[in-house]
Structure 1
Amino acid sequence: MYESMLSFPAALFGEFDRLRREMEDVVASPGLPASIRSVAPGSFPAINIGRTPSSVEIYAFAPGIDASSIDLTLDRGVLTMSGERRSPLPEEGQQRPTVYSRERVYGSFRRAVTLPDDIDPTQVQATYRDGVLRVSIARREAAQPKRIAVQ
């Protein structure tokens, strides 16, 4: 029995560990309201989502993408980001190198984020700088915390 465990592929344990971490991230997203949803980590582009008293902030980490190829839509509380990162390798027919390893993702992408009900879809700003797409969506004023004076 011990000998068969030695021949068990070590990479499989790494995959189990990665799957466990992803499940923990999906089930217990600390600091993220239940009303904001996205897919599990590992998708491209990687995104961070946060909330301030006055806005919902989404950061998509997508270096190497032309800003004009990014398409953003906000429809019924779902923000959809899509675009394409082109490969820097020459196209077919040109002198194309043989690729032995490819760790960077190329091609089209599409990410969708379900947003809370208190956002204001008329107040959206998006900027793309240094490979980071930042989308800021204002929260409705009625949803923002108010300080109440005690008399």
Structure 2
Amino acid sequence: MSSDIQRWNKLVELAEMEMDNAGKTVAFMQEEMQQAQSQLEALQNYVQEYAQQPVQGPAQSVAQLQTHAAFGEKLHQAIQAQSEAYQQKQLMVEKALEAWREKRARFKALQTLLEKKRKQRDLKLNRQEQKMLDELAAQQVSNHSL
């Protein structure tokens, strides 16, 4: 029975390690998502500032206007790409959280089973001890009656 408890204990320990690793993955993914969000916000702020900047010089050439507009378009493309990257990071965080919840549920279930096994073992040991005490008491009574 003790080796059975040891095996269950090992399973609980392994499940806890898996849950902890899944938690670390969640934290890492959340950090990545926050970095992607910061980059997106920085790009959006830069685009707003860039849009408010006039093209240099009083006599704006067509080339200057085209260059300004082309760079603005590239900035919008960068924002779109960064927005998609941020959304991907959000999905990864959600998947990591789901995996962590599954690992946590497994850990809790194994923990509950281990506790049940321990209680069964303790109950069995208590019954054995009570039986031995009853037998000892019966022997003492039979020895005294002789």
Q: Do the structures match in fold with TM over 0.5? A: no
Structure having the larger proportion of residues in helix: 2
Q: Which has the larger radius of gyration?
A: 2
The TM-score, its normalising length taken from structure 1, stands at: 0.25
